[in-house]
Amino acid sequence: MIRRERLLKMIEELVSIPSVTESDSESMPGIWIKERLEKLQYFIDRRDHLIWIETPLEGSCEKLGSLVVRVNASVPTERTILLIGHYDVVGVSVYGEMAKIAFDVKKITELLNRDNEDVIYGRGTMDMKCGLAIELDIIEEFAADRELFDVNIVAAFVGDEENASAGMRGVLPVLRKMKESGTDFLTVINTEPGEAGYSGESGPAVFLGTLGKIMPGFYVRGCASHVGNYYTGFSSALAVSRIVSYAEGNPHLADPLNGKCEPSWICLDMSVIKKSYSVTVPDRAYAYFNAFTTTYTPADVMAHMKVIAEYALDQTLAQLTDSCMSLVAIGYQGKSFYVPRGKIYTLDEIKEIACSNFAENFDEELSVYIESLPPGDMRNRGLAIVDKIADMAQIEGPYAICFFLPPWLPFRTDFTEDSRDIQTVAAVRSVKDHLVEKYGIEMKELELFAGLCDLSYVGARTEPEETNVLEKNMPGWGQIYSIPIEDMQCLGLPVINLGPSGEDAHKKTERLRLGYSLDVLPELLRYTIRKISETVK
């Protein structure tokens, strides 16, 4: 069977597994890959080179299965290249009535490929079961012919990438153990589709870094009052709306790098917190945002958050004052308005105040409360924890608490003065030249994969002071969400994303272009592995 046919069959089989993030089938592709590899003589002789890892899924009673695979070169060496890929996919509700065939490549391609292009359709064809199949094909070929490369190959196949990267976070300790046992990881290669990394563009692309992400959160405690006595209260809803209107899309909060910029802050959720209807001025509300990062640390973002919260509370107070004065002028006879200026706290500062109230019982009481939270979205659980800590602090409003919600993805760029980063960039540029010389195809070179991906966790180079701010100000750190920071810092590898070509990831028209993806990319990835071995010392 020629390579294209073999890969196409593998993609169809992988797509047929409905591995939607957080579904019962999410880990099934990992099991499928493991069972497939267990039949190969290399792995029959070396069962310990197939490592199955079960990682708890935060907010769920389920566990996620991930697979780490190792194939050693025929000549013993510690020099190793890491491949990574995720097998979870987003849901299929956007397909409407076609959802029942979204995982059947042949049926949905027949329905949607009206122009008879050299493409296949279906959920996961592009993002990212093609890349997964190509990596698996490399593993199988190398296991059969260990002279194919003069470096070892380790591959991490994981789930939950489309959510909070529980799979990649879960395999970090295994990769660290390999490194501490002597494995010399040269570079990590991911095979996410190129178009997912630079939205709106098309064609082959290689990325030498990945965008970061952090989730700033704001909790406002106002002053409750009956709506008939509105000016004796302080509306948390109004204050949070001020935060959103000031921060949303604010260009001053963007974090450009080398003349390129991603969207600024985007509010993902905002709401008042109340258990039932009442004609009461809301005294609790929240908002949280997506914020892309390229240079900003958690401490930098926290500094911005304090300024935003202070401005919003001051503007809320000014609006209420002006409103009351204007209404008095036209006949309002309610109580005179006086609310003190709002205060701004970090979550860490509020915890210190709460701890002083509860002394030695604070940690225990908070831990018991966290354990009592029902399974569910980790953002919602984190917000519940912030609300609980605010209650325990027993401070009168108005005030705002600045905190972070999961997930956090550190940014990474190969354009540094590190020798292996420099060598990795040189190797990639040789790969680009090879693509032109052999196939006549120009490839775009981009610094950051803008779609966010698991390269963040194997490539990040963070300092302890950066992560300390994150840990202290993320509710439920270590219980509802955590990152094995030391394991992550132990790796810090140069990163490459070199993946297939297609369009419309996450849409019902998701499709994979077969010409480049199956006829060119597989050879190009093998060339890349050899070029890295030759160039990275």
Domains in the chain with CATH codes: 3-211+411-535 (3.40.630.10), 212-408 (3.30.70.360)
Q: What residues form DSSP beta bridges with 156?
A: 68, 84
Inform me whether the pLDDT recorded for 1 exceeds 70. Answer: no
- Only one residue has tokens 């199949």, namely 133
Backbone angles phi, psi at 156, to 5 degrees: -115, 115
Residues 6 or more apart whose CB falls under 8 angstroms from that of 27 comprise: 19, 64, 65, 66, 159
Inform me whether the pLDDT recorded for 449 exceeds 90. Answer: yes
Q: What is the pLDDT of residue 335?
A: 67
- What span, in angstroms and rounded, lies between the C-alpha atoms of 427 and 433? 10
Question: Percentage of the chain surpassing pLDDT 70?
Answer: 99
Q: Which two tokens stand for residue 412?
A: 């990474």
Once rounded to an integer, what is the mean pLDDT over residues 469-488? 95
Q: What is the pLDDT of residue 216?
A: 98
Please tell me the least confidently modeled range out of 190-194, 299-303, 460-464: 460-464
- Which of the four pLDDT bands, split at 50, 70 and 90, describes residue 222? very high
Radius of gyration in angstroms for the set of CA atoms belonging to the chain, rounded to a whole number: 26
397 φψ region: left (φ > 0), alpha (ψ -120 to 50), beta (else): beta
Query: Across the chain, what does the average pLDDT equal?
Result: 95
Q: What is the pLDDT of residue 200?
A: 67
As a dihedral over the C-alpha atoms of residue 465, residue 467, residue 472, residue 476, rounded to 10 degrees, the angle is: -170
- CB under 8 A, 24+ apart: contacts of 104-107: 104/15, 104/16, 105/11, 105/12, 105/15, 105/16, 106/12
Q: Is 0.85 surpassed by the pTM of this model? A: yes
Residues 6 or more apart whose CB falls under 8 angstroms from that of 396 comprise: 223
Residue 509 · residue 416 · CB < 8 Å: no
Inform me whether the pLDDT recorded for 199 exceeds 90. Answer: no
For residue 97, give the nearest of 84, 89, 87, 107 by alpha carbon.
107
The DSSP symbol for 229 reads G
Once rounded to an integer, what is the mean pLDDT over residues 203-231? 93
Once rounded to an integer, what is the mean pLDDT over residues 91-112? 97
Q: What is the pLDDT of residue 122?
A: 98
Q: What is the pLDDT of residue 517?
A: 97
Inform me whether the pLDDT recorded for 56 exceeds 90. Answer: no
Q: What is the pLDDT of residue 198?
A: 81
Q: How many residues comprise the chain?
A: 537
Each residue of 310-341: pLDDT tens digit?
999 999 999 998 888 888 889 988 766 778 89
Each residue of 121-142: pLDDT tens digit?
999 999 999 999 999 999 999 9
